[in-house]
Amino acid sequence: MERTMPRQILALMLAWVLLMPAAVQARTETPLADGWRFHLGEVSGNATTPAFDDAGWQPVAVPHTWNRLGNYDLTRRPDADTTRGVGWYRLRFDLPHDAAGQRTFLQFDAASIIAEVWVNGRKLGRHEGAFSRFRLDATDALQPGENVLVVKVDNSKPEPGSTTEFIVPISGDFFMYGGLYRPVSLITAGPAHIDMMDHGGPGIYGRVVTLADDAAEVAILARLHNAGRAGRFTLRTSVLDAAGAEVAAREEALRLAAGADGARELALTIPQPRRWNGLDDPYLYRMVAELVGRDGTVLDRVEQPLGLRTVAVDPDQGFLLNGQKLQLRGVNRHQDRQEKGWALSEADHVQDMALIREVGANSVRLAHYNHAGTFYDLADRTGMMLWAELGLVNLASIPGVADTPPQMRASAEAQMVELIRQNYNHPSVAVWGIGNEITNWSSKGLTPSNARPLMDALDAVAKREDASRPTTIAACCEVLPGEADDGRDYTSGTADAVGFNLYYGWYVSGRVADAARLGDVMRGYHREMPTLPVGVGEYGAGGATTQHTDNVHGGKIESIYRPQAEEVQAVVHELSWKQLAPLDFMWGTWVWQMFDATSDLREEGDSSDINTKGLVTFDRGIRKDAFWFYKAAWSKKPVLHLTGRRYVDRAYRVVDVRAYSNAAEARLRVNGQDIGTTACADFVCVWPGVQLSAGENSIEASAGAQSDSMVLRYAGPERAVHVRAGSLDGVTLAAGTRYGSDNFFDGGLGYTLNPYQRELYAADQQRPAPKIVAGADMPELYASWRAGSSFRYALPVPDGRYRVRLHLFDPTETEAGKRVFTVAAGGAAPVRIDPVARAGGGMRAVTVELPARARDGLLVLEFKGEVGEAIVSAIDVTPR
């Protein structure tokens, strides 16, 4: 017998169902990653029509870029693709079944630089700017079943008359990859929804109004759009804690006319708030906004992160998080990666963040544009503070024009709005950057420029969009403290704070020791700009993992060419951080840069098309020595790292062994023999004058529970030394004799005969014909020199009698008597030398041989100038 449910129970159940809130019909998002067809260049026929035959096009997945460059070799990779121009993408996709009656949008997380979009032959719109998310309403162009999406992207160079002439950035020391290099998706939402067309933003924006221990007041702004019939709705907002429990809620009834936009800001109070407190406690709430119909149906739902925190900058206290001083020590990051360009995966972003956290940074400057949303999300969750920056680099106007063209200003302002709307809710964003190195100072001198009106306008846009965060600008090339104004642009002061890009020890003089000036320069800026918070937006040096030097002070740096020894980079950072760390008034410092990155302006170090200043290589495969220095200086975990491990085959038998550690001291053993302990001052531990045995040498260091080891080899002679004076790199001659880079000296300076002449932003300049030293049968030994009024060498060799051979030439004097100096070899009487007289002219090679004796393991050469400076190009010490 069939049993039936009592009528009263059925009625109760029906009433219960009717009283329940309708199931959430949240917007849906469908990734459009696979099945794309791509063609580089213009096409014959109309590629925007569904019937167009794209069978011959290349199958690709999105994210995608057609460009490929950057390799660790002295010549550009044979498969490099630096094409700047038009690329076409086509995709056939089925419309989701749940799209019926909904509005459907195409979301592009980024497309470089210009994107035009068609669906089923109907043009939806165009977006300009390479780095921001944008959406297009595709509802009226879509049809049930199969649809055809066509995207034309254009990354043409911003030249006069080009499509990109006024789209910022129009300059920059990084390559502008082309393509759909971030994800594309299809999003459906109800006719009445939280605005999808709000400059690529989420449509809801939360701000902290007050923040105290007992309560926090938060205002949540929701922007709404009604593409359907006029009606009454309810906006429901709530805040959830990290466990998903609701801690605050409020709702408000409203009316939206057909086709109308609306906005509501609702205030909520959160009891006993837990602050988002950077790396120490990156606690995240979630804010939710729901648009509800009259029948209780949830028409749209958006969820966003909410971090309860305050940020500020102060000229004397620096950066303040939740009212407490936080010394921002950070790195710059570009968004590219070897073999992928800008087309990164989520796993790539995760790995980058993990490496940044490992080095001990607490801040990242997102150079020099809006980065992917995934990285902002990672920063929120990990507590990393971000300097989010507008993609405006170098130029505030087109070349040769002082005032910013209206089209260029419009581009900059539009991208400023996109940057802020899209990232407003990320508590990790500490400051908005309005530009980088906007200056009229170039290698060719002062150029027409009137940058301040544009920068003032962008600062005003940022403050209008978000009054809760400070603004900043990265400035370079301005007149130094104490110097007279020479007409250069001053952009410092156009934002709430400034970060100066200063490369002492690298670009400024080309000498490592110059890094010790950095502290005085920053104190000078603070003194001259007492009301402006100052910091350092960039500092650093190039480092090639396959190029090495025996002494970082041995010669002048080739800062935009090669070589670029890994050891030079490391010591520049050692000296720079020693200067910066004590400056409590600064609001932050950022190393340039975390990872090697592409630039088609550069031929540097052991690479082509790569800026080698990363702490980590372009493929993320090698942590350079400089990485380990900062890990020792910044990380709270015990660190011990022996440096120079990639310089395995040493040119000299006697070496300084160095390590980085945050321990007070470290111990060294070489081939099992205890060398002893040394203090680790400023995180650097040095054991000077360690003697290697012939063949392989086991080097072991320990500090507490930490240990590290490496192998060094020496295959040279026991009783001979060959020094290439004035040079940071050694050389092996055709006959097999190996010369180490300049070492064992005290005093004087190293010089290069033919320094690289190419200017960074003047790639069309011709390099002058190289100078040639006449009579040099071994030209490599006459490519550099050491000079000074007085300098000495203390060359480590066993005691005994030796023959010293000096390689000499005069690079500047052409007459006898204009340069005269003496050399005292091994304690013998000084020998008087006039290189021009001995060689028979200037720029002519000559050698001088002297007998000498080594005592106490050293052969000492004393150089003293009588007329002009003493000079030497190479030194041979061989037994007699």
Domain 502-512+523-635 sits in which CATH superfamily?
Answer: Glycosidases (3.20.20.80)
If we measure between CA atoms, which residue out of 871, 744, 726 comes closest to residue 811? 871
Q: Where in the chain is the domain with CATH 2.60.120.260?
A: 28-187
User: What pLDDT digit, counting tens, does each position of 384-395 carry?
Assistant: 999 999 999 999
Specify the DSSP class assigned to residue 457: H
Separate counts of helices (H) and strands (E) for the chain = 9, 57
Q: Express as a percent the part of the chain with pLDDT over 90.
A: 92
Residue 869 known to be catalytic: no
The confidence score (pLDDT) of residue 23 equals: 40
Q: How far apart are CA 767 and CA 783, in angstroms?
A: 17
Q: How far apart are CA 201 and CA 406, in angstroms?
A: 25
The confidence score (pLDDT) of residue 769 equals: 84
* pLDDT band, residue 443 (cuts 50/70/90): low
588-591 and 276-277 strand pairing: unpaired
Mean pLDDT of the chain: 94
Give burial (CB, 10 Å; 0-12/13-18/19+) of 393: buried
Instruction: Name the least confident of 36-50, 347-361, 430-444, 735-749.
Output: 430-444
* pLDDT band, residue 6 (cuts 50/70/90): very low
Q: Express as a percent the part of the chain with pLDDT over 70.
A: 95
Q: What is the mean pLDDT of residues 552-563?
A: 94
- CB–CB of 634/329 below 8 Å? yes
Q: What is the mean pLDDT of residues 854-878?
A: 98
Q: What is the mean pLDDT of residues 764-785?
A: 88
The confidence score (pLDDT) of residue 13 equals: 37
The hierarchical CATH code for the domain 649-714 is: 2.60.40.10
The confidence score (pLDDT) of residue 329 equals: 98
pTM listed for this prediction: 0.95
Q: Where in the chain is the domain with CATH 3.20.20.80?
A: 502-512+523-635
pLDDT score of 8 more than 60: no
User: 28-187 sits in which CATH class?
Assistant: mainly beta
Specify the DSSP class assigned to residue 144: S
Domain 204-306 sits in which CATH superfamily?
Answer: Immunoglobulins (2.60.40.10)
If we measure between CA atoms, which residue out of 384, 378, 461, 377 comes closest to residue 418? 461
Q: How far apart are CA 737 and CA 148, in angstroms?
A: 67
pLDDT score of 1 more than 60: no
The confidence score (pLDDT) of residue 19 equals: 34
- CB–CB of 133/200 below 8 Å? yes
- CB–CB of 223/203 below 8 Å? yes
- Given CATH 1.10.645.10, say whether it is the number of domain 721-879: no
If we measure between CA atoms, which residue out of 644, 637, 694, 645 comes closest to residue 661? 637
- 312 three-class SS: strand
The confidence score (pLDDT) of residue 20 equals: 36
- CB–CB of 573/630 below 8 Å? yes
* pLDDT band, residue 765 (cuts 50/70/90): low
**Cis peptide preceding 160, ω within 30 of 0:** no
User: What pLDDT digit, counting tens, does each position of 94-126 carry?
Assistant: 999 889 999 999 999 999 999 999 999 999 999
Catalytic residue among 389, 437, 538, 813: 437
The dihedral region occupied by 145, where left means phi > 0, alpha psi between -120 and 50, and beta the remainder, is: left
If we measure between CA atoms, which residue out of 824, 805, 823 comes closest to residue 739? 805
Give burial (CB, 10 Å; 0-12/13-18/19+) of 698: middle
User: What pLDDT digit, counting tens, does each position of 12-69 carry?
Assistant: 333 333 333 334 456 899 999 999 999 999 999 999 999 999 999 999 999 999 999 9
Q: Where in the chain is the domain with CATH 2.60.40.10?
A: 204-306, 649-714
Q: How far apart are CA 165 and CA 627, in angstroms?
A: 38
User: What pLDDT digit, counting tens, does each position of 132-159 carry?
Assistant: 999 999 999 999 999 999 999 999 999 9
Q: Where in the chain is the domain with CATH 2.60.120.430?
A: 721-879
User: What pLDDT digit, counting tens, does each position of 821-841 carry?
Assistant: 999 999 999 999 999 999 999
The confidence score (pLDDT) of residue 98 equals: 86
